[in-house]
Amino acid sequence: MTELENPAKQLASLLRAWQGTPSGLSVLKHRKAEGEAWWVQHVRAVILLNTIIEHIEQDPDAPEYFRTQVVDRLFRGIFATNTSMEAAQSGPRVHVTKDDLGSLDMMAWRWLPGVVDREAVNNLQTAAREVMELLRSSALDNDAMEYLFELVAHLDRVIARVDVFGSVDVARAAKELIAVLTIQFSDQPEEDQAKAKGLVQRLGWALKKLPFSRVATELAIEAGKQAMRALPPGSGS
């Protein structure tokens, strides 16, 4: 999708303007756009959030906390359920938290175009197919072989939707495949070890060409913090 079509980016922009209501203004007066009824922008916001939900349903690797918690809070923020929409506020009122806007930014980044190096993705796909060929001719035990087959299949799946969801999941899947391939072939016959080492190098070279900006790293860190906050008490100990 293009940047203009990105529903998470559009909603984040709108909700930043709506994040809080200044003292002395009502929610409706603060949010009213020139020449539009107050509800027009709210309908637009709901449509954008519903579109995000539809995209999430097609993205099995979308963060679980976003599905189960953030979406509900964003709906509440759209309708300012923590106050009256018509009454003037006696003090500043926050309707959408910075954390939830950060989560929305993260989803927007997942769906941004232009973060994928097509040659790198093709090289990853080719190397993954050769991993399959190596597995079929190897002497690995059934459990290890089945696990590696699943990792290759998962890499193929995330590559197939890279143009929609970006390269984050591709990189994660490739790194896991590299790690397990290295471990499982460390005690195999010398010829198979050499083949596996060559494939690991090729996967690694292709992986380095998938660009990840500093802002993407920051969003990933923020996503991790959100996921930790979503854990039940005591589950992190």
User: What residue spans define the domains of the chain?
Assistant: 7-113+215-230, 118-209
Helix count and strand count (H, E) for the chain:
12, 2
Instruction: Look at residue 159 and give its three-state secondary structure.
Output: helix
| Per-residue pLDDT at 19 | 86
State how far the Cα of 37 lies from the Cα of 166, in Å rounded to an integer. Answer: 37
Residue 95 CB coordination number (10 Å): 22
Q: How far apart are the first and last CA of the chain?
A: 40
Query: Which residue has tokens 């290890």?
Result: 144
**Amino acid in the structure at residue 237:** S
| Per-residue pLDDT at 164 | 66
| Per-residue pLDDT at 40 | 86
| Per-residue pLDDT at 208 | 78
pLDDT of the chain along its 237 residues, tens only? 455 578 888 999 999 988 888 988 988 888 887 677 788 889 999 999 998 888 888 777 777 888 888 899 999 999 989 888 888 988 888 899 888 888 888 888 766 554 467 788 889 999 999 999 999 999 999 998 999 999 999 999 988 887 766 677 788 888 889 999 999 998 899 999 999 999 999 998 888 776 543 334 444 445 455 545 554 555 444
Cβ atoms of 234 and 111 closer than 8 Å:
no
| Per-residue pLDDT at 135 | 93
CATH 3.80.30.20 fits 118-209, yes or no: no
The tally of CA atoms less than 13 A away on the side-chain side of residue 86 is 0
| Per-residue pLDDT at 3 | 52
Where would I find the beta strands (DSSP E) of the chain?
20-21, 93-94
State how far the Cα of 101 lies from the Cα of 70, in Å rounded to an integer. Answer: 9
Per-residue DSSP letters for 9-47?
HHHHHHHHHHSEE-TT--HHHHHPPTTS-HHHHHHHHHH
